[in-house]
Amino acid sequence: MMKKTSKKGLIRLNKYISKSGICSRRAADELIKKGKVKVNGELCKELGTKVYLDDKVMVNNVIIRPEKKIYVLLNKPKDFITTRKDTHARKIVFDLINGINERLFPVGRLDRNTTGLLLFTNDGDISKKLTHPSYKIKKIYSVKLEKKITNQEINKIKNGIIIDNEKILVDKIQKLEKSNEIGIEIHIGKNRIVRKIFETINHKVIKLDRVMFGPLTKKDLPRGKWRKLTQKEIINLKSFSS
């Protein structure tokens, strides 16, 4: 049994690892089982182990520390890459977020030409739930096409489009005010899936904007700006993905 040196904040080891922001609790359990975790210098392979917040925990021989959970919402502009670094010196979304000391990572991605809601956090558990298809987190997009779309084509999308040998179904789709503008709700998180849906029926997307992600909306958040989620939004986000 590991000797405890204090009585500050006794928590499960997998939660401690998850709170550091490196992975989810389930992934932390795998690290523990594989012998990648040490507590106060001792190898720990027992699931369910509890540690104190001021214990020395190492993963792959690197000391980790629990981080304060933070949730940031960005209204992404066009021409920004959803990555932390870019070898081609292109603009990245992290250029837009300043003054945050905690390490953040994006929940999902938006391609370079897609605008709209992008969530950042260091909460590995919530990130996994928001991106895993089994939780069916809804995403709503405003789509502008190069040309008019017909009702027949809308119905074709409603009935399912075959993409990469898989039938893709949207949750909702409807025309907006103009004949080349559409609102589409989908929970699938595949890369460029909305663009591919329209490309399959010979329509080019000239503007794609994510207006809702789970319970989060762009209300009062100008393009290129970011803000931290309110406590109420965090509670809603966690209940939405529970």
Beta carbons of 94 and 116 less than 8 angstroms apart? no
Residue with tokens 């204090």: 6
Both ends of the chain: CA-CA distance in Å? 34
Angle, to 10 degrees, between the axis of helix 124-131 and the axis of helix 25-33? 110
- Using alpha carbons, list the distances in angstroms from residue 193 to 167, 182, 213, 225: 12, 15, 15, 25
Structure tokens at 91: 């603009």
Beta carbons of 184 and 140 less than 8 angstroms apart? yes
How many other CB atoms are there within 10 angstroms of residue 167's CB atom?
A: 9
DSSP string, 154-165: HHHHHH-EEETT
**How far is Cα 14 from Cα 3, in angstroms, rounded to an integer?**
18
Catalytic residue list:
111
Beta carbons of 214 and 138 less than 8 angstroms apart? yes
Residue with tokens 């190898």: 43
